[in-house]
Structure 1
Amino acid sequence: MIGPHQGEAVMIEAAEWAERLDDDPSDATRVRFEDWRAHAGHEAAFAAVAEARTMSAALADHPEMLALRHATVARIALAREPRRAAPWMLAAAACAAVVAPIAWLRLADDATTTGQAAQIAEAPVYRTATGQRLMVTLTDGSRLTLDTDSRVRIAYSDAERRLVLERGQALFEVAKHQRRPFVVTAGSQSVTAHGTAFDIRLDPGAVRVALVEGLVSVASKGGHAKPVAMVPDDVLTASAGGVSLRHVPGIALALSSWSEGRLVFEDTTLRHAVAEMNRYGTPRIALADTQAGDVRISGSFRTGEIQPFLDALQMGFPVTVARSADGITIATKK
């Protein structure tokens, strides 16, 4: 007999397999799926998921159903416990793998009246809590992945596919060969893309765009400057001080690695690494002194997994780690 916790885990696996088969219907994927389905309870779980997906598709254009499905999926994602894998090493940093919670959601276009432009203020909003990731598949085939503590407003219309990043960070994988332009607004910047993948992060006073593949153009809202054309591995940063563009091979994948539950640091200050780790949950990590913050580290860590990060620091870097009721403090080793 399958217990309640096992049953929930099997249902989540069934939903993941349904998405995986949509994305990669190859023979190899099908063989792995059949192996999974052969276990007790798995076939029934997959049948239930398939039935739910069929019903969901039939009701996809109901705004109330969209909101209900989003709320339900978000609660399931927040309730999931991470699954652990074996520790491993990268650049003198010991890392343990844990799968961060991810939710998949089918989203219908929110334009319900032909010829009527979407109203941004009334468009559906998708958000994540601290430590959560959320994957949204749009009906045009585009995919949106939200990072921790992020919020995106969807405002598709007959004229364009518009999204507004209102907080946090998101990865946009844009479906190719579409008539309507795909436009993402974040802060003072507007990014237009066709069949591409790019990462946008909205920080207080700054917007960062990293292009993974394809081509995009970035323009300042209300400005008269010529839009900036980006190529893969370009990173554009816009702030009150102006717009900067740099090109570093491999940087876009590193900056968007959070979408796979990883944070990649390459010769990064511990100050920056701690700030990134703190975005994904508690207990909070603090630096006791400037010297500790200036230590440079390299490594790959799972988001939300603080202990492997601390273990790696103590094993390979000149710092000490102390725990207290207020959290964790890292100091320079005396």
Structure 2
Amino acid sequence: MTRSQTDIEVAIDWLVLLQGDSVTEDDWRAFDAWLTASSAHAVAYDQAQAFDQRLDLDARRVDRAPAVAPVAATVSTNLVALRPTRRVWLWSAGSAIAAALVAGLVLLPGSGLLGGRETRYVAGVGERRTIVLEDGTRIELNAASRLTVRFERNARHVRMDDAQAFFDVAKDARRPFLIEAGDTQVRVVGTRFDVRHRDGQVAVAVQRGLVEVRPASAAPIRLRAGQGLSHVEGQDDARVAVVPVDEVTGWRQGRLIYRDRPLSEIVGDLNRLFPRPVKLADARAADMRLSGVLIVDEQDAMVGRLSHLLPVRTTTTNDAIVIRAR
């Protein structure tokens, strides 16, 4: 048996295990370690996924497909006969599939769009939305956020524009969940985490499971529960740290929690919550840093609290609230 055939057999074993009901967190960690140990493993797993998807196609279409070689013809016949016992068949027929895939004898499906559609979701200023995707994934969108979702046969794609969202991703070992946020890609299979893409900065915080983050010009970084990554677009500065995830996701409960953050960032958050703009009158005010909690309620009350927490004063007009250093 060749090395490629062995890799595909192992990939099939992983595919069966991860689709089972008894998969554990340790299984996911072990799979992550195997998948990233070699680029050949990723290729083998993609091939196994693609072949597995043939079992979900209409049996009549499989039956009509021409046999391109004896091995492929045998596999196609078995697909029709054993379709109801898909997982058992995958496990027991691993060697035959591996040989067929390595020889290039089995026709694999393309990666065209399922349904050929892209869906855009928007949460307006002061609005939070919860979205349930067709695979069961839940996305909570923070105020003033925009993202696009596209499902393909081999992957689930999300592109985040200016946005913050909390993801509870449904497990699907055959279709990883890929998020593009600026120059950064986040890759998961099933987990819970927060992604913030604002003002040219990306931050990821993991509540449960494993997340692979790949900033541009940096090697992939794997984050576990309780870890976070921050990154400025265009820079080689990805930083990993232990993070209090409940604080990062406090916006879901109407709390903005800051640890040594500039007032310019806090004002940006306020402007996503209310239509009347808050403006900074001078650079000294913009650079002031805050550690504290702001309860999300009325705009005037929130801005008023800032004047108690920082040496600033506010002026309110019909069109805006202006903050300046005292």
TM-score range, shorter chain: 0.5 to 0.7
Per-residue CA deviation, residues 35-92 of structure 1 (Å, 9 max, x unaligned), is xxxxxxxxxxxxxxxxxxxxxxxxxxxxxxxxxxxxxxxxxxxxxxxxxxxxxxxxxx
Alpha-carbon offset, residue 139 of structure 1: 3.4
Unmatched segments (≥5 aa) in structure 1: 1-113
Q: Match of 1:99?
A: none
2:306 alignment partner, SS class? helix
Larger mean CA deviation between 177-186 and 140-149 belongs to: 177-186
Partner of 2:275: 282
Greater Rg over alpha carbons, structure? 2
1:209 paired with 2:213, answer no
Aligned-partner SS, 1:271: helix
CA-CA distance at 1:316 after TM superposition: 4.4
1:209-264 C-alpha deviation (Å, 9 max, x unpaired):
2223221112257x6x53221223222315212241220331x3323322333211
SS in 2 for 1:124: strand
Q: Is 1:173 aligned to 2:193, yes or no?
A: no
The correspondence of residues 84-233 of structure 1 with structure 2, limited to 5 A, is: 117-118=112-113, 122-176=117-171, 178-220=173-215, 226-231=219-224, 232-233=226-227
Per the alignment, residue 328 of structure 1 pairs with 321
**Matched residues, percent identical?**
30
* Alpha carbons of structure 1 residues 320 and 207: separation in structure 2 relative to 1, 3 Å: closer
CA distance in 1, matches of 2:252, 2:151: 23
The 1:186/1:120 distance shift into structure 2, 3 A limit, reads farther
Q: Distance in 2 between matches of 1:138 and 1:129?
A: 19
Deviation at 1:121, TM superposition (A): 8.2
Larger RCO (CA within 8 A; separation ≥ 6): 1
Corresponding letter in the other structure for 2:161: E
Which protein has the bigger strand share?
A: 1
Change (3 A) 1:314 1:202: closer
Q: TM-score, normalised by structure 2?
A: 0.58
In terms of fraction of residues, the more helix-rich structure is 2
2:133 counterpart letter in structure 1: L
Say whether the 8 Å CA contact 2:215–2:231 is kept in structure 1. no
CA distance, structure 2, for counterparts of residue 271 and residue 205 of structure 1:
14
Q: What amino acid is aligned across from residue 257 of structure 1 in structure 2?
A: G
Alignment match, 1:241:
235
- Report the AA paired with residue 300 of structure 1: V
- Determine which of 295, 301, 325 is the counterpart of 1:308: 301
Relative to the length of structure 1, the TM-score reads 0.57
1:260 is aligned to: 253
Distance 1:296 1:167, change over 3 A: closer
* Residues 314/188 of structure 1: CA separation in 2 closer, same or farther (3 Å cut): closer
Task: Give 1:309's aligned amino acid.
Answer: M
> 1:237 and 1:120 mapped to 2: Cα distance?
35
State the Cα distance separating 1:193 from its structure 2 match: 0.9
Partners of 1:131 and 1:304 within 8 A in 2: no
State the SS of the aligned residue for 1:200.
strand
Letter in 2 for 1:248: V
Would the aligned equivalents of 1:196 and 1:214 in 2 still touch at CA under 8 Å?
Answer: yes
Classify the secondary structure of the residue corresponding to 2:193: strand
